[in-house]
A and B are shown apart, each in its own frame.
Chain A
Amino acid sequence: MLDLQGYGPRLIEGAGVTLQLAVLSLILAIVLGLLTATAKMSRNWLLHRTATVYTTVIRGVPDLVLMMLLFFGGQIGVNAISDMLYDNYNIDIYINFNAFAAGVITIGFIFGAYMGETFRGAFMAVDNGQIEAGKAYGMSSALVFRRIRFPQMMRHALPGLSNNWMVLLKTTALVSVIGLTDMVRVAAEASRATHEPFVFLLPVAAVYLLIASVSEWIFVRLQKRYDIGFGGQ
């Protein structure tokens, strides 16, 4: 049987960190992605430009570099703000830069750019007649979005969404480099300490495969759900 030499509980805790990080970043990325897609399709020049710069720059720079920028720069930035508050307004607060929150924000921010592209394509695939029909029924824009655009958009967005999620999941491994104790960090520490890399790293790899397989199954079911009314063609 697998002998984890006492690292078992910490590995499980690390797996929990990985999962929480991945799910929370996914939610943030979806929200940012929807906003970006809307901005990209808007007629407002400034919104359109901002969204384009955001998606281009983020997708042109390695995740790890962006992460380091936010992690290492974040504390300095936060300190500068609290210094400024103290000097100017005599408000004395100490803000601790939370590594987990920084991880969620960075990964969510990075994948928001990818999601934006996915959602934009999906929104454009929804037939304009559908939206006109909704308006003809007297629906408000919000209601059209909720009842017509979003459900039909999801059908086209799901393949890209699932792909982004798989990449995001693997990207969470990078937080171990910056100091968050996810399962990769625990496994790397354990293999250095015990000189048995395979015992720790292979099970962690298997957990990633397991999460990927489970989410693949979930995405297939979701696709079936959103394909209702279009199926069989």
Chain B
Amino acid sequence: MCGYKNVTTSALGGNEMLDISAWFNDLLAGNLIFTPTTLGYYWEGLVTTTQLVFLSLIAGLVLAVPLAIMRSSKHKWISLPIYFYTYVFRGTPLLIQLYIIYYGVVFIDGIQETFLWPLLREAFYPALLAFTLNTAAYTTEIFRGAIKTTSKGEIEAARAYGMSDSLMMRRIILPSAFRRALPAYGNEVIFMLHASAIASVVTLMDLTGAARFVYARFYAPFEAFLFVAAIYLCLTFAILYFFRFLEKKLLAHLRPQTN
């Protein structure tokens, strides 16, 4: 109760910083679960989750662009293998992909002698690899859809200017395809954030891992998981608004004109 009192006095009087920290300490004082230590675990979890999601999205994006171009190729022998890759990775649960990479990486012949081994021995890098391959598959299909819906007129105009295939891809098709892919890609980013929760299954201390730890330590499922759910909700909204802002900026030319 006294926590609330402090807030009202701080709103009235000056010296706000001091009152807020006193209020924060008051808030934690009567609380057995959310101590500075456990909040530290949640913070570490937030860092791990952000790293995992951000790195896998960047790597997935880099992979997806050439894959999407290959997937849109007229030649079956180029597009079919890519289709097979996306079909398998989109048709099976991410958890299985994670297990296969996490448990299976040890059994690649000679891997323990290479420079990669110290990296792959930890849970972080197998998880990163699984997430990257997964998001690359989804992103490839998103981009491929966007490339396919490029209007005929734009391509004809580029041809009429005598552009080569690669120049046309670079200057005409890809820039407009990226814009069209933006809403779907925003969904994919949110999906990856949510999917990253399974990293806790392979012993990683991500946000969900921290919540599981707090649950096991205090046997307090509601506090542990509701708190982490609130953090995920905030992150989701942040991503949502970021993509809405991007759409507003980059898709401004598609909005109905008002004048």
Compute how far the CA of A59 lies from the CA of B226 in the bound complex, rounded to whole angstroms. Answer: 15
Count of inter-chain pairs, beta carbons less than 8 A: 109
CA distance A187 to B123 in the complex (A): 19
Question: Which of these, A57, A73, A205, A208, contacts B233 with CB under 8 Å?
Answer: A57
A201 surroundings in chain B (CB, below 8 A):
96, 99-100, 103-104
Highest count of chain B CB atoms <10 Å: which of A57, A63, A205: A205
The residue of chain A having its C-beta at the shortest distance from the C-beta of B223 within the complex is: A73
Q: Which of B96, B201, B222 contacts A177 (CB 8 A)?
A: B201
Q: Count A interface residues, CB 8 Å.
A: 38
Report yes or no: B92 in contact with A208, Cβ–Cβ below 8 A.
yes
Of B99, B107, B222, B229, which is within 8 A of A65 by CB? B229
Q: Could you say which of A59, A65, A69 has the most chain B C-beta atoms within 10 Å of its C-beta?
A: A65
Count of interface residues, chain B, beta-carbon cutoff 8 Å: 36
A113 within 8 A of B: no
**Does the CB pair A205–B95 fall under 8 Å?**
no
Stretch at the interface among B35-43, B74-82, B147-155, B207-215: B207-215
Q: How far is the CA of A172 from the CA of B211 in the complex (A)?
A: 21
Majority-rule SS of A interface residues: helix
Min CB–CB distance A118 → chain B (angstroms): 14
Interface residue B225 (Cβ < 8 Å from any Cβ of A):
yes
B221 touches A76 (CB 8 A): yes
In chain A, positions 178-233 with a C-beta closer than 8 Å to chain B are: 184, 187-188, 191-192, 195, 197-198, 201-202, 204-205, 208-209, 212-213
Q: Tell whether, in the assembled complex, residue B194 and residue A63 are in contact, meaning their CB atoms are under 8 Å apart.
A: yes
Contact with A along B222-255 (1 / 0, CB 8 A): 1001101100110011000000000000000000
Q: Which residues of A contact B200 (CB under 8 A)?
A: 64
A170 lies within 8 A of chain B by Cβ: yes
Q: Is the CB of B88 within 8 A of A69?
A: no
A205: chain B residues within 8 A (beta carbon): 88, 92, 96-97, 100
Q: Does B63 contact A (CB under 8 A)?
A: no
Among A60, A63, A171, A192, max chain B CB count under 10 A is at A60
Q: Please report A residues at the B interface, Cβ cutoff 8 Å.
A: 57, 59-66, 68-69, 72-73, 76, 166, 170-174, 176-177, 184, 187-188, 191-192, 195, 197-198, 201-202, 204-205, 208-209, 212-213
